[in-house]
A and B are shown apart, each in its own frame.
Chain A
Amino acid sequence: MKARIRKIATFVEETVTEMGRVVDPPTRRAAAVAVIENPLAGKYVEDLSELMAIGEELGELLTQRAVAALGIAGPSAESYGKAAAVGENGEIEHAAAILHPKLGTPVRKVLGKGAALIPSSKKRGGLGVVLDIPLGHKDAAYVRSHFDGMEVRLNDAPRANEIMVAIAVTDSGRPLARVGGLTKDQIKGEDGLR
């Protein structure tokens, strides 16, 4: 493992009722977050390949953790998202290096498919910074019932020389989704959009 991991946290949320109505089956989503040392903190480094490699290994590890937390097989996942928060001695580009070049392939391997773009967000911040991980359907980005977001935070991260990396996976869309648009049973799954 290239990443020096201080801690891993997983969050599972299950919504059983909303506005007094039963959500059946309950909507469930999980996020796995790793807090790692930022090897490039405090200096400008041109070549970010070290962080790209870390992104690749965290893509596999965190997706496995999230899927395990939901207790489902990877291919049963419906939507996904990713996010990173860089501590104050790092650059936003460090988050980009982890999230974008290499993290997606192992995520899709764990989930069986994943034709759609993995929606993402990133920021720089201090301890306790809130990450809103965007969520979208893994095979068709336009599935409206699955547009969502999941908030995660850890009070003790990221420290100045750390990066928080998060992957969220669901087995469902929003509770009581009813704003129309493309539905999951209409997915063609060819272009990742519809």
Chain B
Amino acid sequence: MPEVNVRKRVLTLEEIFHEGGPIAEKPLLRAAALAVIRNPFAGGYAENIAGFMDDLKPLGLEMARSLVKALGGDVQSIEGYGKGAIVGSAGEIEHGALWHVPGGYAMREVLGDAKAIVASTKKVGGPGTRLDVPITHINASYVRSHFDAMEVGIADAPRADEIVLALVMTTGARVHARVGGLKASEIKGEDGLR
């Protein structure tokens, strides 16, 4: 399979102190790692694309590690995650789906025992396309305080023959979470849901 050709990496870190309410004792941190890669399948229909998932694993690991580092270096402090992809115009949405396995694998590998499915989204779009990457709790999808999303995008990517790959991690709940539901302290941690 083709090698992974990276044009550009982008790392975004948000430190949120408040949103009009009380100032958080510990600011919420949210980080996104993006990589702009060449889409080896751009411009035509290829039947066999699944092998590229394995090729993406090292890049996924590198991105996941860069997120942990940006968020302070302690794996235990990571509470939410999500992933996404933006496929350039000469590719198809199915090419974005290639990111599900290596992106999820990479974050689980780095975080250890994360149980919940990694929330995800993807689309086809031009340079500057914005993607709202969904975020949920890493061990129990139903934890309501951790439902969140982070908007990402790069002015000059993806070009037609590129894909923007995204991974997102956070250190906690929304800054003023107060709509009830399952709490992080109530997680059973058996099925990845509750």
A interface residues (Cβ-Cβ under 8 A, vs B): 5-18, 69, 151, 153-155
Chain B proximity of A166: nearest CB distance (Å): 13
Q: How far is the CA of A153 from the CA of B154 in the complex (A)?
A: 10
* B77 at the A interface (CB under 8 A): no
Which chain A residue has the least Cβ–Cβ distance from B156? A151
Which chain B residue has the least Cβ–Cβ distance from A17? B7
Q: Is the CB of B6 within 8 A of A8?
A: no
Task: Please indicate which of the listed interface residues B6, B10, B155 has the most CB atoms of chain A within 10 Å of its own CB.
Answer: B155
Q: Is the CB of B6 within 8 A of A7?
A: no
Q: Is the CB of B17 within 8 A of A13?
A: no
Q: Is the CB of A9 within 8 A of B17?
A: no
Chain B proximity of A174: nearest CB distance (Å): 12
Residues of A within 8 A of B5 (CB): 17
Which chain A residue has the least Cβ–Cβ distance from B11? A12
Chain A proximity of B73: nearest CB distance (Å): 13
Residues of B within 8 A of A7 (CB): 14-17
Q: How far is the CA of A111 from the CA of B174 in the complex (A)?
A: 35
* In-complex Cβ contact of B8 among A8, A13, A69, A153 (8 A): A13
Q: Is the CB of B151 within 8 A of A155?
A: yes
Q: Is the CB of B10 within 8 A of A11?
A: yes
Chain A proximity of B7: nearest CB distance (Å): 5
* B26 at the A interface (CB under 8 A): no
Q: Is the CB of B12 within 8 A of A9?
A: yes
Chain B proximity of A89: nearest CB distance (Å): 15
* In-complex Cβ contact of A13 among B9, B15, B18 (8 A): B9
Chain A proximity of B3: nearest CB distance (Å): 12
Residues of B within 8 A of A6 (CB): 16-20
Q: How far is the CA of A14 from the CA of B151 in the complex (A)?
A: 19
A-B contact pairs, 15 of them (CB 8 A): A6-B20, A8-B14, A9-B12, A9-B15, A10-B13, A12-B10, A12-B12, A13-B9, A14-B9, A15-B7, A17-B5, A17-B6, A17-B7, A17-B8, A69-B13
* In-complex Cβ contact of B12 among A11, A17, A151 (8 A): A11
* B183 at the A interface (CB under 8 A): no
Residues of B within 8 A of A154 (CB): 14
* In-complex Cβ contact of A9 among B14, B19, B155 (8 A): B14
Which chain A residue has the least Cβ–Cβ distance from B33? A12
Known: A7-B15, A12-B11, A14-B10. 8 other contacts (CB 8 A): A6-B17, A7-B16, A13-B8, A15-B7, A16-B8, A17-B6, A17-B7, A69-B11
Q: How far is the CA of A17 from the CA of B157 in the complex (A)?
A: 13
